[in-house]
Structures are given as structure tokens and as C-alpha cells.
């Protein structure tokens, strides 16, 4: 897998940021976690992978991020910077919200003033203004996730990877964060690879839904999502939404059996 | 874009959800007994130790005056004689206070050196499996060898003065610092490590921005244990290394060999108070350093 090229200029919508060709991953104990995965993501695409637990979704994401490597095939990432949002907010408990949001910019060696400004902007963007000085322990689960999102936003990534980021949140908070993430996506135009086990979340968020099945993990079906970018919660109750969600669920069951 | 996202609602929802005490206060019924019970607990937690203390003093007086013949009362001098025959006697206090000062200097010098060596040792082990494999057995050995067995050797090599007393303190105080620092560094959350890996953090950055801050609660717990041990080390060192001005250990030994009961007991109390003071000082330091974000009640501290 080639390393992200840090010097490339900001890419326009439509640039390929992630390309998997026949990617496989076999663990040393012999388990095949992924097999024959082809996947292309461009800027301005929000691709969601939905599948049962243990089907290799997370492995897919870890290979995309560089935390893991493909044992066969090629995984190419062509992004200046990658945002990665974990299932846990992974905030450092001794740092305030402001300092947590500044962390990645710090690690990437941005200047102090640029770091500070990027953090302030990101905090504004996720709606955490007024909470900058709080410690993570004083935040609700939803607010922690916003802080985690803001932390990645400071890097202005071309590719955003999400590993079931809202899985631990209650439904109301989760749906609100879905809407906010869509707004961020529309505004920034990054490419996104989003892992979830919720069909409804997958259909609501994405431009494309991939259905995965396990043993070994492979993509069994792909659905283009026809809804525009101005999605509102009411969309979830339309017949079109129900139909597509039904098809995705069906594919999920088919692949599972 | 400046899409300010509606957090105000969410904040309001979560605060009412997360502070269940507020609702019952408005309802009025349940919280009052709850508060009262807590206050009574606090009262008993202060009162009971005082009662026990009074009882112990009573037993002490009983032993002195009911069981010991007048000629043998130096074995257990009555509590008030600690004040009249020691605390208020300048001949005694002119010996005890300077000795206390010297013991404090020895134990803090020992503790300081143990902290520097111990943390460097642990950090070195945390950075390389090979270093850990080669050095950890020696940390354990340090804990297993009875230090007292080495004490005469230390005198043999380093003479019987200040340096030897400090060396004993260092040897006794070292292990908890090494093991707690290493444990703290190795207990760093895996997700946090991945975050740093993902963003290509170097070894030093990872150590300074992640591992050491995350390890601080464990490190301070180690300091606290070692501080107590270094006081023990200073007293033990005194008993063996009597060259130079005396510390508390030498006074204890002198008073006991001269059968000076009240000064002996008084010096023991001073030593005990020093131990308590050091323990609470390091508890306070830990609270100042990490209490803001680390909940100490979680590890029964």
C-alpha cells in the first residue's frame, strides 16, 4: 500500500482517494478476514459498509487507514490527510476539549497559531462552542463524539474513515449526529468510508451502500442511494427510503445465510 | 461554512438525564434523608477514630499504673510524660528536632534519587522489549533480596555516614517507582495508541504526549508507597550508620539503650507523624497533579 502523499494539492470532488483492488487479508492464525474486495471512493462520495459483526468491516477500515496491511491485492490511498473516527471517542482524559481537538494538528507539526485556529473552527463547526475548557469526563457521549469529529476536522482530510462512530449513542443523539455529519460532508466534500451495522443509518447517510458478508469477508452487493444531499429526518419515513432499506436488509440476510 | 449545530438542546437533555438528583429535589420527598444519612456517616467517620484513640490512651494508662511496678514504668511511661518529660524538655527536644530534620533530608534525598533512577529505568524498559526482558528481573531481584542483608556491605563500601543512609533509602524506595511507572505506561489505552500510530507520532512524542500523562496516576501511587518506604529506609540506615550527626533512628537506639522511656516513646510518635505527613503530602501532590481528570476513588486510594 502506498503512503499518502502529503505534498499533493487539495483534491477536487471526483478525485479518487481510495482504491482497493482484489484486497485480501489473512491473519497469521489462518483466518481469512477479507477476500477479493474491490472498492473505489472518490471525493464527494459517502460510502457505507454494512454487515454483521465479525464480517471483516473493521479490517477493511484498518487497511484503508494503514493500521493494518493487505496480505494480497493492492490498497491505494491517495489523500493528503486521513481522518479516522473510532467507535470510542478516544479523547485524552487529561486534556480539555480545546486541547484534545488540537492534538492531531500538533502531531502533524502545524504551527501553534494555525493549530489553535483550526481547533477553534472545528469546535465551532461541530457545535461545541462554550465547552472548550471542559474535560472529557464532563461531556455526554454525543458531545465526546463531536469533539472526536472536530479533532479529525482540524486536518481538513480528503478521506474520512468512520468505524461505527455512533454505535454507542442513544437513538436521538445518533440521528442528530447523522444529520450534522451529512452537513459537514456536503460542506467539505471529502470522501467517506463509514462502517455501521444499522441499515437505516447506512441508507440515510450514504451515496452508496455496500453490503458485506463474513467468512471470509467480501462485498456481496452494492446500492446507489438516489436521495440528494439535502436530507432531513423525514426522509426515513418515505416509501422510497423504506424500499431501499428493505432491499439492503434483504441483501444482508441473503449474504448472511 | 459556519453551520452552527444545535447542541443547546442536546446539552439540556443530557444534563437533566445525567443529574438524577435534581428531579427528586424538586419533588421534595426522597433527598432529605439521603443527605442526612451522608452527614451522619461523615460524623461517625470522624468520631469513631477519636473514640478508639481515647480507649487506647485509657488502656495505656491502665498498663502503666495498674500492671507495672513503679520501678518498671520506664517500659511504658504514661502518655502525659511524653509531653512533660520529652516535648517540654529542651535537653530532649534539642536532640529530637535536629534529628528529625536530618531524617527528613536523608529520606527525601533517597526518594528523589529513587524517583529519577526508577522512572528512567521504567521508561527505558517501556521503550524496548529487549531492555525490559534484560532489566526487569533485576527490578524484581531488588524487591526480593532482603535489603537489610546488604546494609552492612553498604557500610563496608561507602563508609558509615550520610551517603550510606541515602543509598539504603534509594534501594528500599526504588521498586515501587519502577513497577508503577512501567505498569502505568503499559496500561495506556489501545485506542489511544492507534490514534498516535495513525498520525505517525514518533517515539518521544508518544512518550511525552500519551504514555507519561496516562501513567501519572500510577506513578503518583508509586511515589506515595516509596515515600513511606524511604522514611523506613532512613531510620534503618540510621541504626547501622552512626557516623556523623544522629537521625531519628540513632536517637531511638540511644534512648532505648539508656532506658529513657518517655523520650523513646516521644521519638517513636515523631517518627509515626513523619510517616503520616509524608503519606498525606504525596496524596495531596497526586490530587493536585491528576485529581482534575483522574478519579482516585476508583482504585481505593
* pLDDT grade for A3, boundaries at 50, 70 and 90: very low
A160 pLDDT above the threshold of 90: yes
- The closest alpha carbon to A80, from A5, A20, A12, belongs to A5
Closest residue in A to B2 (Cα) is A125
Residue A168 and residue A72 in one domain: yes
Q: How many CB atoms lie within 10 A of CB A191?
A: 29
Which of B198, B210, B287 is most worth mutating to test chain A (most A CB atoms within 10 A of its CB)?
B198
The 10 Å CB-count burial string (b at 16+, else e) for A203-228 is: bbbbbbbbbbbbebbbbebebebeee
Residue A7 counted as domain residue: no
B200 and A107 within 8 Å at the Cβ level: the answer is yes
Give a yes or no: residue A86 inside a domain.
Answer: no
**A84 lies within 8 A of chain B by CB:** yes
Q: What is the pTM of this model?
A: 0.80
State whether A72 and A95 are in the same domain.
no
Q: Do B199 and A107 touch (CB under 8 A)?
A: yes
Tell me the C-alpha distance between B245 and B239, whole Å.
12
pLDDT in tens, B103-123: 999 999 999 999 999 999 999
- Confidence bin at B169 (pLDDT 50/70/90): very high
Provide, rounded to the nearest whole percent, the portion of chain B with pLDDT above 70: 85
Beta bridge partner(s), residue A75: A20
pLDDT of residue B191: 92
Tally C-beta pairs within 8 A across A and B.
82
Give which of A180, A178, A216, A213 is closest to A194, Cα–Cα: A178
> Do A138 and A20 fall within a single domain?
no
In angstroms, how far apart are the furthest CA atoms of chain A? 55
pLDDT score of B216 more than 50: yes
Whether B300 has its CB under 8 Å from any CB of chain A: the answer is no
**Averaged confidence pLDDT in chain A:** 87
Residue B18 has pLDDT above 60, yes or no: no
Do A69 and A166 lie in a common domain? Answer: yes
- Taking Cα atoms as reference points, which of B300, B133, B290 lies closest to residue B220? B290
Question: Domain for residue A4, yes or no?
Answer: no
Same domain, A174 and A252: yes
Q: Averaging pLDDT over each range in A133-142, A221-230, B81-90, which range is the top one?
A: A133-142
The single residue listed with the C-alpha cell 436488509 is A249
**A74 and A172 share a domain?**
yes
Other C-beta atoms within 10 Å of B138: how many?
Answer: 11
Q: What is the DSSP letter of B292?
A: T
**CB A38 within 8 Å of CB A22:** yes
Same domain, A53 and A164: yes
Residues A152 and A70 in one domain: no
Stretch B86-90: mean pLDDT: 87
pLDDT for B10 beyond 50: no
Range A51-67 burial, b when 16+ CB lie within 10 A, else e: beeebbbbbbbbbbbbe
The answer to whether the beta carbons of residues B217 and B290 sit under 8 Å apart is yes
Alpha-helical (H) ranges within chain B are 7-18, 22-27, 31-62, 79-82, 90-127, 129-144, 147-158, 162-186, 190-198, 203-206, 212-240, 248-257, 261-290
Does residue A74 belong to any structural domain of this protein? Answer: yes
* Last residue of one domain, picked from the residues A141, A157, A173: A157
Q: Of A124, A157, A190, which residue constitutes the final position of a domain?
A: A157
ipTM of this predicted complex? Answer: 0.86
Measure CA of the first residue to CA of the last residue in chain B; give whole Å.
48
> Within a domain: residue A179?
yes
Per-residue pLDDT tens digits for A93-131: 999 999 999 999 999 999 999 999 999 999 998 889 999
Q: d(Cα B46, Cα B181) in Å, to the nearest integer?
A: 34
Total domains, chain A: 2
Residue with the three cell numbers 444531499: A229
How close, in Å, is residue A104 to chain B by CA atoms? 7
Class of domain B82-299: mainly alpha
Of A63-77, A95-109, A171-185, B29-43, the least confident? B29-43
With an 8 Å Cβ cutoff, are A143 and B14 in contact? yes
Which band of pLDDT confidence, cut at 50, 70 and 90, is reported for residue B29? very low
CA distance B205 to chain A (A): 8
Can you tell me the mean pLDDT for B66-90?
A: 87
User: Does residue A62 fall inside a structural domain?
Assistant: yes
Cβ neighbours of residue B140 closer than 8 Å, sequence gap 6 or more: none
Residue range B200-220: mean pLDDT, rounded: 94
In this structure, the answer to whether residues A99 and A49 fall within a common structural domain is no
Rounded CA separation B104/B274 (Å)? 8
Which chain B residues are closer than 8 Å to A163 by Cβ? Answer: none
A183 vs B3: CB contact, 8 Å cut-off?
yes
Rounded Cα–Cα distance for residues B2 and A126 (Å)? 10
Q: What is the pLDDT of residue B298?
A: 52
Q: Are residues A58 and A70 in the same domain?
A: yes
- The grid coordinates listed for B247 are 537521625
Query: What is the distance in angstroms between the Cα of A167 and the nearest Cα belonging to chain B?
Result: 16
Q: Confirm whether A5 is domain-assigned.
A: no
A36-50, B11-25, B31-45 — most confident range: A36-50
Task: Tally Cβ neighbours within 10 Å of residue A250.
Answer: 13
The residue extents of the domains of chain B are 27-67, 82-299
Q: Which of B2, B18, B191 sits opposite A90 (nearest CB)?
A: B191
Residues of B within 8 A of A143 (CB-CB) are: 7, 10-11, 14
Boundaries of domain holding A222: 16-79+158-256
- The last residue of one of the domains, among A107, A125, A157, is A157
pLDDT confidence of residue A76: 87
Do A181 and A251 sit in the same domain of this protein?
Answer: yes
Residues 13-42 of B with CB under 8 A from A: 13-14, 18
Q: Is A84 contained in some domain?
A: no
Check whether residue A64 and residue A163 sit in a common domain.
Answer: yes
Amino acid at each position: 500500500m502506498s503512503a499518502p502523499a502529503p505534498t499533493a494539492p487539495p483534491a477536487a470532488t471526483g478525485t479518487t482517494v481510495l482504491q482497493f483492488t482484489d484486497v485480501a487479508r489473512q491473519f497469521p492464525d489462518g483466518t481469512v478476514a477479507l477476500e477479493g474486495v474491490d472498492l473505489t471512493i472518490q471525493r464527494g462520495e459517502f460510502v457505507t459498509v454494512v454487515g454483521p459483526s465479525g464480517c471483516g468491516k473493521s479490517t477493511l477500515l484498518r487497511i484503508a487507514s494503514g493500521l493494518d496491511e493487505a496480505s494480497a491485492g493492492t490498497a491505494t490511498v491517495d489523500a493528503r490527510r486521513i481522518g479516522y473516527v473510532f467507535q470510542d471517542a478516544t479523547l485524552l482524559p487529561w486534556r480539555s476539549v480545546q486541547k484534545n481537538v488540537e492534538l492531531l494538528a500538533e502531531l502533524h507539526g502545524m504551527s501553534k497559531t494555525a493549530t489553535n485556529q483550526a481547533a477553534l473552527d472545528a469546535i465551532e463547526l461541530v457545535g461545541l462552542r462554550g465547552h472548550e475548557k471542559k474535560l472529557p469526563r464532563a461531556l455526554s457521549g454525543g458531545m465526546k463524539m463531536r469533539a472526536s469529529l472536530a479533532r479529525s476536522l482540524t486536518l481538513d482530510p480528503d478521506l474520512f474513515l468512520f468505524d461505527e462512530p455512533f454505535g454507542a449513542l442513544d437513538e436521538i443523539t445518533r440521528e442528530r449526529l447523522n444529520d450534522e455529519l451529512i452537513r459537514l460532508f456536503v460542506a467539505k466534500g471529502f470522501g467517506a468510508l463509514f462502517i455501521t451495522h444499522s441499515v437505516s443509518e447506512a441508507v440515510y447517510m450514504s451515496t452508496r451502500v455496500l453490503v458485506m458478508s463474513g467468512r471470509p469477508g467480501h462485498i456481496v452487493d452494492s446500492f446507489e442511494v438516489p436521495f440528494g444531499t439535502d436530507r432531513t429526518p423525514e426522509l426515513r419515513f418515505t416509501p422510497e427510503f423504506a424500499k431501499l432499506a428493505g432491499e439492503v436488509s434483504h441483501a444482508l440476510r441473503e449474504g448472511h445465510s | 461554512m459556519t453551520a452552527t449545530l444545535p447542541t443547546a438542546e442536546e446539552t439540556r437533555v443530557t444534563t437533566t438525564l445525567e443529574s438524577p438528583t435534581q428531579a427528586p429535589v424538586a419533588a421534595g420527598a426522597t433527598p432529605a434523608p439521603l443527605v442526612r444519612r451522608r452527614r451522619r456517616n461523615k460524623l461517625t467517620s470522624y468520631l469513631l477514630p477519636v473514640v478508639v484513640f481515647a480507649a487506647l490512651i485509657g488502656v495505656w494508662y491502665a498498663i502503666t499504673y495498674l500492671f507495672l511496678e513503679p520501678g518498671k514504668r520506664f517500659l511504658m511511661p504514661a502518655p502525659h510524660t511524653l509531653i512533660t518529660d520529652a516535648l517540654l524538655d529542651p535537653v530532649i527536644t534539642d536532640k529530637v528536632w535536629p534529628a528529625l530534620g536530618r531524617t527528613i533530608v536523608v529520606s527525601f534525598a533517597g526518594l528523589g534519587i529513587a524517583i529519577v533512577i526508577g522512572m528512567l529505568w521504567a521508561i527505558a524498559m517501556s521503550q524496548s522489549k529487549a531492555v525490559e526482558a534484560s532489566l526487569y528481573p533485576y527490578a524484581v531481584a531488588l524487591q526480593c533480596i532482603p535489603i537489610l542483608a546488604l546494609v552492612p556491605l553498604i557500610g563496608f563500601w561507602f563508609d558509615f555516614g550520610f551517603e550510606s543512609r541515602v543509598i539504603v533509602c534509594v534501594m528500599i524506595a526504588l521498586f515501587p517507582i519502577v513497577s508503577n511507572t512501567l505498569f502505568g505506561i503499559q496500561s495506556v489505552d489501545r485506542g489511544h495508541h492507534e490514534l498516535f500510530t495513525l498520525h505517525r507520532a514518533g517515539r518521544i512524542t508518544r512518550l511525552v504526549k500519551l504514555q507519561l500523562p496516562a501513567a501519572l496516576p500510577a506513578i503518583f501511587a508509586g511515589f506515595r508507597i516509596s515515600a513511606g518506604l524511604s522514611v523506613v529506609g532512613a531510620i534503618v540506615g540510621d541504626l547501622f550508620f552512626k557516623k556523623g550527626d544522629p537521625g531519628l533512628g540513632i536517637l531511638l537506639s540511644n534512648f532505648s539503650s539508656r532506658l529513657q522511656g518517655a523520650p523513646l516513646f516521644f521519638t517513636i510518635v515523631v517518627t509515626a507523624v513523619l510517616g503520616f505527613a509524608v503519606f498525606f503530602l504525596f496524596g495531596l501532590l497526586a490530587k493536585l497533579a491528576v485529581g482534575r481528570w483522574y478519579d482516585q476513588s476508583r482504585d481505593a486510594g
